[in-house]
Amino acid sequence: MTSTGRPGGQIRPFRIEIPQADLDDLRDRLARTRWPDELPGDGWARGVPVGYLRELAAYWRDGYDWRKHEAALNEYPQFTSTIDGTNVHFLHIRSPEPGALPLIMTHGWPGSVAEFLRVIGPLAAPRAHGGEAADAFHLIIPSLPGYGFSGPAPEAGWTTGRIARAWAELMARLGYPRYGAQGGDWGAFVSPELGRIDPGHVAGVHVNAATFGFIPFGPVDPDELASFTDAERDRLTRRQATTAGPGNGYFEVQAHTPQTLAYGLTDSPAGQLAWIAERFKDWAHAAQTPDAAVDRDQLLTNVMIYWLTRTAGPAANLYYENLHAGFSGQQPGTTPTGVAVFAEDYAIRRYAERGNNIVHWTEFGTGGHFAAMEAPDLLVADIRAFFRLIR
């Protein structure tokens, strides 16, 4: 397949085919894991408990079937294209509905394209899932540069702004003159920025797990705080606790020393598993363990994509790049924007409206950071509801 939308942008078919030797190496490494000691009775207070991780790692080694999940991913057409000097991998699912709206969906960390598997069918083929043809989307689901099958970026400077520019180029190469953007976590950075840099083509932006541009940074004026609703006060309190507490440790490490972190995560599957599993435990809604809110095979498929592609370090580099890029202000966005606020999210409407054209806002009492895996039906319904406003 080559581009018909813009000359010079070759698009190459791609298929995931992990060598058996890599899977054998993983099983061998898991079998030889050097487990640390731990103090008794602390549970999760000091991090992932040894007992929990040993059990999950044993299932990873002897119960989890990568080939099954590799085949599931390969059911969807995949491609790569070189954009701004870096490789970009993406799924491209054309809806059977002729009036479908193109929608580019962007994952975050520690996610991957695999986190969207439960929403692809309902979004691309709504009539096959009890929906209406008018809600159909053509889906473009890229791996962030440095992540997964996009592989390590070849140079520094890949911030979320640069990714947004790459996405605009990708959509032009695919020949889509009008499209929507959706994303959570890093995707909630990239998607609004895409609306700012390509407003003539982006019909609307939908986000979940939104932070930057959707929450206050720094102290909140006491008079303003007094006007907060209970829900807003709860979100602010949780966000402040996370930023100031141990829950922000992952950010400090990835934003300052991603290369040092990369050695352990690239060499030790148990280390990679613990690093990601802890985030699922902390960020999923009401999860006592990482696989309480998200099926453990879904969790492990995400972990596998980082492990097999050796992109733990390159993925962490995005934190470093954004932190060190400097910030010179942001123009208010004019693109219609919808926000889904799940139970573990932090977005507060009054702050979102200061820099975004908010036309749709939904708050849920369930679901968390990984909405496409935790609450796919709710996410699909909210994406449909928002884009009905601007189709």
DSSP codes of every residue in 127-156: GGGT--GGG-EEEEEEPPTTSGGG---SSS
Give the HSE-up count for residue 252: Cα atoms under 13 Å, Cβ half-sphere. Answer: 8
Q: Which stretch of DSSP H or E encloses residue 80?
A: strand 78-83
In whole angstroms, give the CA distance from residue 345 to residue 366: 10
How far, rounded to the nearest angstrom, does the alpha carbon of residue 250 sit from its chain's CA centroid?
16
Which pLDDT score, from 0 to 100, does residue 70 have? 98
- Whether residue 135 contacts residue 126, with contact meaning beta carbons closer than 8 Å, is answered with yes
Q: What pLDDT was estimated at residue 389? A: 98
For 186, half-sphere exposure in the C-beta direction (CA atoms, 13 angstrom radius) is: 30
In this prediction, residue 193 carries a pLDDT of 97
Q: What is the pLDDT of residue 337?
A: 98
Q: What's the sign of the alpha-carbon dihedral 129, 131, 134, 137?
A: negative
The pLDDT value given to residue 2:
38
Full-model pTM: 0.96
Structure tokens at 345: 């999210």
Q: How many CA atoms lie within 13 A of 138 on its CB side?
A: 17
Within 8 A by CB and 6+ apart from 175, the residues are: 3, 4, 5, 6
* Confidence at residue 126, expressed as pLDDT on a 0 to 100 scale: 98
Count of Cβ atoms closer than 10 Å to residue 40 Cβ: 4
Question: pLDDT tens digits for the chain (391 residues)?
Answer: 334 445 457 999 999 999 999 999 999 999 999 999 999 988 999 999 999 999 999 999 999 999 999 999 999 999 999 999 999 999 999 999 999 999 999 999 999 999 999 999 999 999 999 999 999 999 999 999 999 999 999 999 999 999 999 999 999 999 999 999 999 999 999 999 999 999 999 999 999 999 999 999 888 999 999 999 999 999 999 998 888 878 899 999 999 999 999 999 999 999 999 999 999 999 999 889 999 889 999 999 999 999 999 999 999 999 999 999 976 567 889 999 999 999 999 999 999 999 999 999 999 999 999 999 999 999 999 999 999 999 9
Residue 6's pLDDT is 54
